[in-house]
């Protein structure tokens, strides 16, 4: 009697989790709104990033390669949360700019507060029927960065 209950609970859990994994975002703004409202505690612990469901195949491959090449106990090439441009805090007062779309690519500026005003530049790609994040860049301040460059990609 106990086994059917466990099987039913597992099946229900898989059914509930499935839509989050299969989610496609039809517009760049829908993707970024979902990204900035996402609870990373719900992420797959085996994924290369807590945000992997929002990232392109290319960006996930770069993140996985970084994980694979980082010795146990060390921090990889990215030692901060690129979505909030910091190690701590959270993005508040998020403002998503008007996307510039050219075929299957889009550029979008996102502004928010996380202890200070932050502006990030997103490069998105359309794949698997929806939009995904292909790169994030902070071009301001003393140490500008892009996620793909930190991961060693020479795009």
| pLDDT recorded at residue 16 | 39
Task: Map out the domains of the chain as residue ranges.
Answer: 24-150
Per-residue model confidence as pLDDT tens digits over 32-55: 999 999 999 988 988 999 999 999
pLDDT in tens, 65-93: 999 999 988 888 999 999 999 999 999 99
Span of 19-23, 25-29, 58-62 with lowest mean pLDDT: 19-23
On the question of pLDDT at 6 being above 60, the answer is no
The pLDDT value given to residue 154: 53
Over residues 8-15, the mean pLDDT reads: 41
**What CATH code would you report for 24-150?**
3.10.450.50
**pTM given for the model:** 0.83
Q: Which residue, 74, 86, 67, is CA-closest to 145?
A: 86
Q: What is the DSSP letter of 54?
A: G
pLDDT tens digits for range 113-144: 999 999 999 999 999 999 999 999 999 878 99
Which range is least confidently modeled, 24-28, 33-37, 103-107, 141-145?
Answer: 141-145
């Amino acid at each position: 009697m106990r086994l059917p209950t466990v099987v039913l609970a597992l099946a229900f859990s898989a059914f509930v989790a499935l839509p989050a994994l299969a989610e496609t975002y039809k517009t760049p703004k829908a993707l970024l709104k979902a990204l900035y409202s996402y609870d990373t505690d719900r992420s797959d612990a085996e994924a290369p990033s807590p945000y992997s469901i929002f990232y392109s195949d290319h960006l996930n491959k770069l993140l996985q390669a970084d994980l694979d090449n980082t010795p146990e106990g060390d921090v990889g090439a990215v030692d901060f949360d690129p979505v909030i441009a910091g190690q701590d805090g959270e993005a508040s007062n998020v403002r998503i700019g008007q996307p510039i779309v050219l075929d299957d690519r889009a550029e979008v500026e996102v502004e928010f507060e996380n202890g200070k005003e932050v502006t990030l530049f997103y490069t998105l790609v359309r794949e698997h029927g929806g939009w995904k994040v292909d790169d994030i860049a902070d071009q301001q301040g003393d140490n500008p960065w892009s996620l793909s460059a930190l991961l060693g990609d020479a795009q």
